[in-house]
Amino acid sequence: MFGIRSNVYPPVNVKSLGMAVLLLVILGQGPVVVLNAQGYGANFVIDSLITDKTSYDAGEVVQIWGRVKWTSGTESFQVAARFKIRTPSRPLIDVGRDVWLFVNKGGVGFLRGAWIVPKGAEKGSYGIYVCAWVATSSRIVYNRRVVSTIASFTVRSGDLQYPSESWRRIWYVYSDSPADPWVQFLDSTEDGSDLNFDSDWGRGRVKYGLADKIGSVSSRIVSIPPGSWTFTVGGDDGIRLYIDGELVISEWEDQSYATYTYARTFTTAANHLLRLEWYENEGDAHVSFDMRQSGSAHDGPEI
Ligand SMILES: [Ca+2]
Ligand SMILES: [Ca+2]
């Protein structure tokens, strides 16, 4: 699933690099990284291609800007641009088209595009390709002076992260199908430092204004001392728990809030990876996690 943003801007005459900086500030982005841009053309060149970061997670928006210089001539031009992404193993994906660049003779203009990294995007280096076509002020003339350029970035997506200080939660819109639950990435968050938690939203909003059709994948690493431990998870609706990648509790269905336990004896102290998946379909929403040494009234372990 690709999110495509096409931006059509009104005609503007942009003549200085200072305006480029101003434009980027207006766009409200953080650190800007100039990547390995290159281009060619008879009288104009894409001399920079810019993203706000060099690596991204699934669901993040890759903002792309290019700067184009027109080096000679007396005409006033528009440039139509098409943005494409080449993934590590797939051919070019057309991710958007932009028609808004206006270049007077000897001037500077700008391109802008955006792409949302899809859930499940493969890890690796991606290339952004921009093709631009000069147009007259009244109509676009494709294939007249083609310019291309490339920049690269890395996608981190697909990797669950296991912080030691908190749970990391990846939030999704739930699809109403337990077999293929996640239809849209919402956000990833670091949610507090409490290992054991009990989140009961009732019929209220869970997050992002959503009271229904929402779910999360929570993950963290925890150091577990030797001994017998009981893991208790609760869900309204579906819940499942993985320890070190092994599915140990699976109650992945619509249900009223219920808790389930799993016990394991650890013989040595070691770090273990926890992953808790949960979804809320409709009605009440509730999720909980608890781990403690068997027979202990204390939350465990010391972390
Ligand atoms: Ca609900
Ligand atoms: Ca429910």
Q: What is the CATH number of the domain that holds 269?
A: 2.60.120.260
Nearest ligand for residue 253 CA = 2
Q: Tell me which residue of 188, 230, 217 sits closest to 287, measured CA to CA.
A: 217
Reply yes or no on whether the pLDDT at 149 is more than 50: yes
Nearest ligand for residue 280 CA = 2
If you measure from the C-alpha of residue 267 to the centroid of ligand 1, how many angstroms do you get, rounded to a whole number?
Answer: 41
Q: What one-character DSSP code corresponds to residue 142?
A: T
Nearest ligand for residue 205 CA = 1
The residue with greater pLDDT, 165 or 10, is 165
If you measure from the C-alpha of residue 238 to the centroid of ligand 2, how many angstroms do you get, rounded to a whole number?
Answer: 8
Range in 219-228, 236-245, 288-297 with the lowest mean pLDDT: 288-297
Nearest ligand for residue 279 CA = 2
Contact criterion met (CB below 8 Å) for 35 and 49: yes
Domain boundary among 129, 155, 181: 155
- DSSP lists the bridge partners of residue 276 as 218, 241
Please tell me which of 54-58, 74-78, 162-166 the model is most confident about, judged by mean pLDDT.
162-166
Reply yes or no on whether the pLDDT at 12 is more than 80: no
Range in 83-87, 119-123, 141-145, 208-212 with the lowest mean pLDDT: 141-145
If you measure from the C-alpha of residue 221 to the centroid of ligand 1, how many angstroms do you get, rounded to a whole number?
Answer: 29
Please give the single-letter amino acid code of residue 199: S
Please give the single-letter amino acid code of residue 178: P
Nearest ligand for residue 257 CA = 2
Reply yes or no on whether the pLDDT at 97 is more than 70: no
The residue with greater pLDDT, 301 or 114, is 114
The residue with greater pLDDT, 285 or 80, is 285
Nearest ligand for residue 202 CA = 1
Whether 138 and 176 map to the same domain: the answer is no
If you measure from the C-alpha of residue 283 to the centroid of ligand 2, how many angstroms do you get, rounded to a whole number?
Answer: 4
* pLDDT tens track for 175-205: 888 888 876 667 777 777 799 999 999 999 9
If you measure from the C-alpha of residue 282 to the centroid of ligand 2, how many angstroms do you get, rounded to a whole number?
Answer: 4
Reply yes or no on whether the pLDDT at 251 is more than 60: yes
If you measure from the C-alpha of residue 261 to the centroid of ligand 2, how many angstroms do you get, rounded to a whole number?
Answer: 20
Question: How confident is residue 226, by pLDDT bands cut at 50, 70 and 90?
Answer: very high
CA 280 to chain centre: 22
Mean pLDDT of 88-94: 71
If you measure from the C-alpha of residue 60 to the centroid of ligand 1, how many angstroms do you get, rounded to a whole number?
Answer: 26
Reading across the β-sheet that carries 167-174, which strands appear in turn?
182-191, 167-174, 214-224, 270-280, 239-243, 246-251
Please give the single-letter amino acid code of residue 254: D
Range in 140-149, 163-172, 247-256, 281-290 with the lowest mean pLDDT: 140-149
3-state secondary structure of 209: coil
Reply yes or no on whether the pLDDT at 216 is more than 70: yes
Whether 118 and 89 map to the same domain: the answer is yes
Q: Which two tokens stand for residue 33?
A: 């990284």
Q: What is the DSSP string of 64-96?
A: EEEEEEE-S-S--EEEEEEEEEE-SSS-EEEEE
Contact criterion met (CB below 8 Å) for 170 and 195: no
Whether 174 and 288 map to the same domain: the answer is yes
Tell me the pLDDT of the chain averaged across its residues. 73
Question: How confident is residue 86, by pLDDT bands cut at 50, 70 and 90?
Answer: confident
Q: Which two tokens stand for residue 225?
A: 């001392």
Reply yes or no on whether the pLDDT at 11 is more than 50: no
Question: Residue 73's pLDDT is what?
Answer: 54
Whether 241 and 283 map to the same domain: the answer is yes
The alpha helices in the chain, defined as continuous H runs, are 17-26
If you measure from the C-alpha of residue 88 to the centroid of ligand 1, how many angstroms do you get, rounded to a whole number?
Answer: 39
The reported pTM is 0.53
Q: Which residues have C-beta within 8 Å of that of residue 71, sequence separation ≥ 6?
A: 43, 44, 45, 106
The residue with greater pLDDT, 34 or 117, is 117
Whether 141 and 18 map to the same domain: the answer is yes
**Three-state secondary structure string covering 102-113:** EECCCCEEEEEE
Question: Residue 262's pLDDT is what?
Answer: 97
Domain membership of residue 209 as a residue range: 167-293
Examine residue 287 and state whether it is found in any structural domain, yes or no: yes
Mean pLDDT of 217-246: 96
Whether 172 and 128 map to the same domain: the answer is no
Q: Which two tokens stand for residue 76?
A: 């006033």
Contact criterion met (CB below 8 Å) for 132 and 43: no
3-state secondary structure of 303: coil
If you measure from the C-alpha of residue 278 to the centroid of ligand 1, how many angstroms do you get, rounded to a whole number?
Answer: 13
Domain boundary among 103, 126, 155: 155
Nearest ligand for residue 201 CA = 1
